[in-house]
Amino acid sequence: MASTVQPTSSLKRRDSMPTRESDQLTITPLGAGSEVGRSCVYMTFKGKTVLFDCGIHPAYSGMAALPYFDEIDPSKIDVLLITHFHLDHAASLPYFLEKTTFKGRVFMTHATKAIYKLLLTDYVKVSKVSVEDMLFDEQDILRSMDKIEVIDFHQTLEVNGIRFWCYTAGHVLGAAMFMVDIAGVRVLYTGDFSREEDRHLRAAELPQFSPDICIIESTYGVQLQQSRSVREKRFTDVIHSTVAQGGRVLIPAFALGRAQELLLILDEYWANHPELHNIPIYYASPLAKRCMAVYQTYINSMNERIRNQFATSNPFMFKHISPLKSIDNFDDVGPSVVMASPGGLQSGLSRQLFDKWCGDKKNSCLIPGYVVEGTLAKTIINEPKEVQLMNGLTAPLNMQVHYISFSAHADYAQTSTFLKELMPPNIILVHGEANEMGRLKQKLISLFADRNTKIMSPKNCQSVEMHFNSEKMAKTIGKLAEKTPEVGEAVSGLLVKKGFSYQIMASEDLHVFSQLSTANVMQRISIPYTGAFGVIKHRLKQIYESVESSTDDESGVPTLRVHDKVTVKQESEKHVSLHWSADPISDMVSDSVVALVLNASREMPKVVVESEPVKDEVEDEKKAEKIINAILVSLFGDVKLGENGKLVITVDGNVAHLDKQSGDVESENAGLKERVRMAFQRIQTAVKPIPLSAS
Amino acid sequence: MGTSVQVTPLCGVYNENPLSYLVSIDGFNFLLDCGWTDHFDPSLLDPLSRVAASVDAVLLSHSDTLHLGALPYAMKQLGLSAPVFSTIPVHRLGLLTLYDHYFSRKQVSEFDLFTLDDVDSAFQNVTALAYSQNHHMSGKGEGIVISPHEAGRLLGGTIWKITKDGEDVIYAVDFNHRKERHLNGTVLESFVRPAVLITDAYNALNSQPARRQRDQEFIDTILRTLKGDGSVLLPVDTAGRILELILILEQCWGQLHLTYPIYFLTNVSSSTIDYVKSFLEWMSDSIAKSFENSRDNSFLLKHVKLLISKAELENVPDGPKVVLSSMASLEAGFSHDIFIEWAADVKNLVLFTERGQFGTLARMLQSDPPPKAVKVTLSKRVPLVGEELAAYEEEQERIKKEEALKATLIKEEESKAAVGADIPVGDPMAVDGNSSHVESDAAFPSGNAYRDILIDGFVSPSTSVAPMFPFYENSSEWDDFGEVINPDDYVIKEEDMEHASMAVDGDLDGKFDEGAASLILDMKPSKVVSSELTVQVKSSLSYMDFEGRSDGRSVKSILGHVAPLKLVLVHGSAEATEHLKQYCLKHVCPYVYAPQIDETIDVTSDLCAYKVQLSEKLMSNVRFKKLGDYEIAWVDAEVGKTENDMLSLLPLSTPAPPHKSVLVGDIKMPDFKQFLESKGIQVEFAGVGAMRCGEHVTLRKVGDASQKGGGATIQQIVIEGPLSEEYYMIRNYLYSQFYSL
């Protein structure tokens, strides 16, 4: 198994080469290669193609936000798997489904599909870009809903020989890790995952089988997260102290997913602290409200804790949190806590509030999750003195900025234990900022130093190629397998391939073991013939070695059987009929018999010369030799007669000696040797008479 | 040789008894279903009791009593201890079904075959799987993979596929191929040529009207009664087919803006619907779609009201109404009581939607002509009074004393540890430890009384030993003013009360029948009073098939399509079983078995098989032809050995001997006719299986593959005609339909 990272080269060009099933597995990130955002990983193996995720880059807009779809031929993709509903994993899906040549099948989990629609519809409404920059509209989303199929956790599906199933990934509701199995080679794509159980989600599962390749996220690189309880305490402490001093707390968060977790924390904290009850918490997202039905329905994909809570009351019906429609409805008097989207402070309500509050040092901004490079949220984490407002002015940044991550990505501890337990021989890092990824790669290399583990971190459009020599195994079944053959015996039968499994069987068994059926075509043709039946018999005997005469059991008419294949019957004074079962050789024999009968009836009166055809074997041999020579010359060019009757064939300086009697070939060059042997065998088969008796 | 497979029916062959079969695969014993009747007759389980201990895994297919009713009893009394596998809905709804049965029985008898605790513990062993999830067995069953697949009929209904070494054993009973309101049809037809198929003959002689027509009739019948000022009783199951009926009624009431009230009355109706609401991913595409697009959960019921006690029904205003009530057999439960009350009124209608189990009141009423009067036993649980009570109390007193003595001993030890033990039990998610303490404590004092009905997932506090209030040694201090009071004690107690009442509400899945249920649950002294009475059946009776099983014709065509190598028939009347057996012998496969109870049949496939490696050299010369899902080629190879002693196939060293060519393909005469017509040849059918092409050429098909279930024989096609160009032309077209190898 060798793997190489190739410099950027178009996959399209390679695809145009003859698509012979190869052992080469290629993985190419079209997005999220050494970056965070627009997750999209392309994989192809044995002529099957899978695309994982289809996101956009939140920091860019329009076409620039898309993964590098130009690198691939969308029509060749068999299966597209979406891990979860976040924009950087799913938002280019409507574009990909509606505006490209993609015609494969798309899968995601039930919860993901339900939220996907709400989220993207909202995204289209919120993103204020020019019409040309719009990647898709609401109609495209609706149409894409019809094409998306659902998969349940652990459900195994097979499309076109690609088998795949998914595991719980933690991260957000409905998030999945996909395991794909093509011809026995397993690839695990984690998407975003978290191995820590939180208030409502289960931790990511550890797959039952170890994959051959693990494509894993590296968002947090080598960072270690504090334990959840510590982070929750910091979170609530910051909020509590800020509001206690009369300040305002802004929590810029993505509308769905992690926000629900934060709301659960806040609601519970408020419930336990009656002194805070007069301080309002606002949650500015009508979208989240709409998604509540989804959260209430798919409780089966959440953890035990939340399911037990459902028994008493719905934990997602918050008691201390009120919705906020827009900044106009917001009565900004006194301390308050506002959670608003977007999480990166690019625009929208969270940015409006930030602009308003950033000057006051009593206020706090709490960044609760991973922030993407290039957004304001990322900038203010470094606490600059000044920031640029939306209206272009600069303002001093006095408000306190806290960064407490709840983003449910695996940290180094989780990633390394996950990989240690899984022990994949190949690890491909995606979805991480280049520097973090580099550090993670180094650390993993030293961690797995004693094993032959390959760790790669390709950039976008850089292909990783691996070779898997999968042994092809076949199962011989049915009549053909009644006796297990010894070495050297011949086995002949039908090789039936379905998906990636092979079976060898006798042709009679085909309909037993597959849905295919075989047929016999019996042919019956009647030829006008008025002459004596004996004439035909005589003529046939001249041509064919085996002609048996008998009488038909039913009608009692005389019959002739030629080589046990074709039966000639004298139906009446005026007709003979031919019976045979279709088969290339029998068809040929029957054609010659037909010709013979027609001839015989035309040349009726002619007296046949009784002369035993002299079989000139020597003559035949010479003729055959001439033909063989001629064909070999036409194939290889330079063919000479060498010593002791061997033929010397020279091609591009390579010499092969061919023994015409035995068919043995001697050559230094293995390729040439094989070709000459093959060619000679075929020529011989063609030149020699057809053995009619075989069946 | 193939995998060894033996099938032994334990119950439910040649009759309509509950289903329970033992299937042994290479020595690993699967118990397929573990059913019981509404009568709960332990004698039915005799065969099971003999083998229960040797069972290695239990697979449940549906959530009704016929498929899983005996599970708690078998676990408790018969020594069944194997892990159980089912889908999530079968697990949840099965649990509710048994709860409902327990309550209904307990109401009218001293039911002691199993308790709610037994039900809970039986279902704790269940491993829940998703459809098409491949579960790899471990230990003794190494190499066996089981996977559930959609069966239709009931939510979560399962066809089990057990695979070993590439050979499939499929257990498919009570499936439904039709797409319904809340379920997709079965996926049975997607399995082709399994080694063994075990299926039922229940509906082999049954035929059904079209769904639309049946639904219309159903609605019409109900409306006629309602408009005639009568009420409709539908005796139904607890959590199975009722869901389909509810959707039909909901939809109809919504469309016609009807105002007649509909009640769904079982002991567990509200929790049933709560669970069902969260099982959308197991339902039909249309339900899933409506939720995805408009977040409209079909089981947010607008017209059907959920009741959990008879008293609630008595409180609703008089007038025509529809009541869906549990125990389809009318043997016990609310439906039984309501039937007795309503049967005397001509205006009322009792509408059966499934065939009553054998020997039940429902079955009796479904007979033709229906009986004019039936004898029923009216039983009621009443509190003890007077002397009986006194005697009972005396007895209880004595028992209590003994227990109390025991408990104090235990308590003393535990109370020492209790203070320390409480905190670690607390909720690890809590922000401050304070609230967790309250929560874990809260369930404790009140939880005890309801221990029997704690729903699954609730862990009873470790400190609860016996159903009694916590007893703490009074170690109070006294000063000059009396007992020293710590005001904090009182504060906490108040909070406790609040939380406790909340917890109880939740744990109970709402409220059970306050009157009677409390008698069952609170262990108040009570007894069952029974009286025999004869009920004049004046109300109309009607039966419509809403069982949701495929009808005879469809079953046959599905079996023909699946075309198993061996077929085992179970469950169904002797007549139906024999009928289906004869049919299948003729049309499906030559190996059809219908074993008797306790008769072990060996359905080990007589398949021979060995594995070989395909060498690169050989494969590089093989040219596959693609036929649908398959790719196919003829190979001539020589057997060799690889380094690790595997057989491998190498290319022949000598030229391959010629072989009889094989024509692969399935020709359908009508399709071929069209094809020829498109080529400008006159074609007409002439007689059975014959086709006249052009002037003189005749084409006949002798062995028809489609009729014989995938072809027990090879197709024989005869083409005949006089020597002419036409003949050769048609022959060429015919050849073009096949792949020649």
Tell me which chain B residues have a C-beta less than 8 angstroms from the C-beta of A85.
none
A24-31, strands of its sheet edge to edge: A3-5, A464-467, A24-31, A40-45, A48-52, A79-81, A105-108, A148-150
Tell me if residue B684 falls in helix, strand or coil.
Answer: strand
Name the more confident of B462 and B531.
Answer: B531
Cβ atoms B517, B449 nearer than 8 A = no
Q: Tell me which residue of A263, A389, A284 sits closest to A326, measured CA to CA.
A: A284
**Least confident window among A273-282, B205-214, B636-645:** B636-645
A692 pLDDT band, cuts 50/70/90, is: low
* Cβ of residue A113 closer than 8 Å to a chain B Cβ: yes
Cβ atoms A73, A15 nearer than 8 A = yes
Which CATH architecture is the domain A228-403 placed in? 3-Layer(aba) Sandwich (3.40)
For residue B641, CA distances in Å to A470, A620, B648 come to: 17, 40, 5
Q: The CATH number of A622-687 is which of 1.10.1420, 3.30.310, 3.40.50, 2.30.280?
A: 3.30.310
- The Cα of A470 is separated from the nearest Cα of chain B by a number of Å equal to 10
Task: Tell which of B440, B639, B734 to mutate to test the A interface (max A CBs under 10 Å).
Answer: B639
**Percent of chain A predicted with pLDDT > 90:** 32
Report pLDDT for B462.
53
Task: Tell which of A513, A514, A575, A662 to mutate to test the B interface (max B CBs under 10 Å).
Answer: A514
Write out pLDDT tens, residues B156-187. Answer: 999 999 998 878 899 999 999 999 999 999 99
Task: Compute the radius of gyration of chain A from its Cα atoms.
Answer: 38
For residue B116, CA distances in Å to A310, B113, B373, B451, B517 come to: 22, 10, 35, 9, 13
Fold of domain A522-602: Outer Surface Protein A; domain 3 (3.90.930)
* Cβ of residue A510 closer than 8 Å to a chain B Cβ: yes
A580 pLDDT band, cuts 50/70/90, is: confident
Report pLDDT for A11.
43
ipTM greater than cut 0.85:
no
Tell me which chain B residues have a C-beta less than 8 angstroms from the C-beta of A498.
629-631
The set of residues, in sequence order, having a beta carbon less than 8 Å from that of B718 and lying 6+ positions away, is A521, A522, A523, A524, B698, B699, B700, B701, B702
Is the Cβ pair B723, A525 closer than 8 Å? Answer: yes
Name the more confident of B171 and A578.
Answer: B171
Is the Cβ pair B719, A516 closer than 8 Å? Answer: no
Report pLDDT for B517.
53
Helices and strands, number each (H, E), in chain A: 18, 35
Is the Cβ pair A495, B660 closer than 8 Å? Answer: no
* Cβ of residue A262 closer than 8 Å to a chain B Cβ: no
**Least confident window among A168-172, A306-310, B15-19, B197-201:** A306-310
Write out pLDDT tens, residues B42-53. Answer: 999 999 999 999
> What is the average per-residue pLDDT within A669-688?
80
Write out pLDDT tens, residues B600-609. Answer: 999 887 767 7
Closest-approach residue (CA) in chain A for B617: A674
> What is the average per-residue pLDDT within B447-459?
44
Strand partners, A204: none
Report pLDDT for B2.
63
Report pLDDT for A72.
92
pTM above 0.80, yes or no: no
B467 pLDDT band, cuts 50/70/90, is: low
CATH 3.40.50.10890 residue window(s) in chain A: 228-403
Write the DSSP symbol of residue A480: G
Closest-approach residue (CA) in chain B for A298: B278
Report pLDDT for A258.
83
Q: Tell me which residue of A586, A193, A213, A645 sits closest to A427, measured CA to CA.
A: A213
A379 pLDDT band, cuts 50/70/90, is: confident
Q: The CATH number of A21-223+409-467 is which of 2.60.120.620, 3.60.15.10, 3.40.50.150, 2.115.10.20?
A: 3.60.15.10
Which of A297, A305, A472 lies nearest to residue B291, judging by beta carbons?
Answer: A297
Is the Cβ pair B722, A526 closer than 8 Å? Answer: yes
Write out pLDDT tens, residues B244-280. Answer: 999 999 999 999 999 999 999 999 998 899 889 889 8
Tell me which chain A residues have a C-beta less than 8 angstroms from the C-beta of B433.
none
Catalytic residues of A: 409
Would you say residue A363 has pLDDT above 70? yes
Q: What is the mean pLDDT of chain B?
A: 81
Would you say residue B466 has pLDDT above 60? no
Is the Cβ pair A156, B133 closer than 8 Å? Answer: yes
Write out pLDDT tens, residues B697-715. Answer: 888 877 544 444 444 467 7
> What is the average per-residue pLDDT within B532-540?
87
- CA–CA dist B29, B51 (Å, integer): 10
Highest mean pLDDT among A115-129, A211-225, A503-517, B627-641: A211-225
Helices (H), A252-400: 258-272, 286-297, 304-312, 348-357, 376-381
Tell me which chain A residues have a C-beta less than 8 angstroms from the C-beta of B662.
494, 507, 510, 518
Name the more confident of B461 and A495.
Answer: A495
For residue B308, CA distances in Å to A375, B334, B381, B501, B505 come to: 56, 10, 17, 19, 14
Residue B240 tokens read as: 């199975």
Is the Cβ pair B649, A474 closer than 8 Å? Answer: yes
* Cβ of residue A268 closer than 8 Å to a chain B Cβ: yes
CATH 3.30.310 residue window(s) in chain A: 622-687
User: In A, residues 152-181, which contact B (CB 8 Å cutoff)?
Assistant: 152-157, 165
Strand partners, A5: A464
Which of B297, B509, B667 lies nearest to residue A297, judging by beta carbons?
Answer: B297
* Cβ of residue A624 closer than 8 Å to a chain B Cβ: no
Is the Cβ pair B281, A150 closer than 8 Å? Answer: yes
* Cβ of residue A273 closer than 8 Å to a chain B Cβ: no
CATH 3.60.15.10 residue window(s) in chain A: 21-223+409-467
> What is the average per-residue pLDDT within A313-339?
84
Name the more confident of A529 and B146.
Answer: B146
Helices (H), A148-257: 228-244
Tell me which chain A residues have a C-beta less than 8 angstroms from the C-beta of B133.
152, 154-156, 165
> What is the average per-residue pLDDT within B222-231?
92
Tell me which chain B residues have a C-beta less than 8 angstroms from the C-beta of A294.
295
Would you say residue A12 has pLDDT above 50? no
Tell me which chain A residues have a C-beta less than 8 angstroms from the C-beta of B609.
475-478, 481
B197 pLDDT band, cuts 50/70/90, is: very high
CATH 3.90.930 residue window(s) in chain A: 522-602
Report pLDDT for B560.
87
> What is the average per-residue pLDDT within A64-90?
93
User: Taking CA A23 as the corner, what is the angle to CA B649 and CA B622, rounded to the nearest 5 degrees?
Assistant: 40
Q: Tell me which residue of A535, A556, A666 sits closest to A605, measured CA to CA.
A: A535
